[in-house]
Structure 1
Amino acid sequence: MHFSGLFALLAIVPAALCAPPGPGHSSSVSHSIASTQSVQPTHPAPPPIRVLTGSIAVKTASNKFLGYLSFDTHSIHGFVPRKPKEVVVSFNPRSEPFALDIVRSGRPTKFYVGGAGFNPLKRASANIVPLDVVPLTPPFSGPVPPIGAESTIWSLDFGDNELTAQWVNRGGQKPQTFIAFDPKRNQLFFTGDIRAYNQKFRTKAELVRFFFVKK
């Protein structure tokens, strides 16, 4: 090779090395850099699970206030006009169905607001299950002997704080469950058909609704 040709080749090589890369090469390099520098998206941590503590306001189906649910660790007494302070309920609203733990003087008692009875609830039936203070039972257990207790039956509507119950019959059926109050007997109970109950017992029990009121 002549020296003139060698010098021409040496002049071309540096120019090629210094020239900007072609379009394909540029995109692959920039993509590699971007991928190494990209920040992975972060998801906000879920809010901590909070146990709610408070009282239960009782209203009619037409939203008339009847009072606050009154109870102790032995039984349910009906309504009182003022919000109780010493005996309240606590529950974890995110673990539905949940149990309403009776809290006395700031301490859980291991007694719960629930129901006790073996009669199955259903439409066109006068059967009822009285509300009662009962031990803790598993979700969807059905009536637990010896008294037919169910306590893990409650759900909370976060929109209006209404507490609703889902009773489970012995056969595993989940009937539509209403809460009712019979003023003649001063009794709160679960029912599947309030009309059938009133017709059989010739009374004027009415459906009521429970609402959680924070302490």
Structure 2
Amino acid sequence: MDISHMRRDFESEGLDREHLDDSPTRQFEHWFHDAKEAGILEPNAMSLATSGRDGQPNLRTVLLKYFDDQGFVFYTNYGSRKAREIQENPNAALLFPWIGLNRQVIIQGRVEKVSKAESLRYFAARPRGSQIGAWVSEQSRVITSRGLLEQKVAEIKQRFSSGEIPLPSFWGGYRVVPQRIEFWQGRPSRLHDRFEYVRQDDGWLIQRLQP
């Protein structure tokens, strides 16, 4: 199937250095706000790329739950494929594809676990169904039928039928600590505006990249 004819010229305002915040976190916050205001569906959805010691890359979509100057936080099962790969190679990349705004943000950095207190605080705020789901799923493991999964849901509901559901020991958060962040703005004729922030000892180096 030849789809080479599919193309769209990006009609967007330009991105200039003087309009960028010196802090990549604040610049991300500005763009994240724009994505929410524009009605982008799940603006906190991000592609997470990891690879284990074999070097084979894997990619999936996860949800950003928190960000600040320390990094970008998501939650998962510590026995999942992504978690096993992070243990073998604690480097990852994130992509926010805000296509409706002709924008994308790419983040590369090292990955570390958040504290148990942080994981507990977030887990306690999740809907009860999501808390049960965290206990039920042995994420990324093979299962022969959905019926077995639903049976386990019933068992977990019975187990925690009264009172709060505790944080599973095998579930929690990761923080991607950025070393490089790129802000990409689509422009006409594929002459896009790209700026990268590269971490240095005393702050961030900001430079324009060719499209």
TM-score exceeds 0.5: no
Q: Which has the higher helix share?
A: 2
Give TM-score scaled by structure 2 length.
0.24
RCO higher in structure (CA 8 A, sep ≥6): 2
Give TM-score scaled by structure 1 length.
0.24
Larger Cα-atom Rg: 1
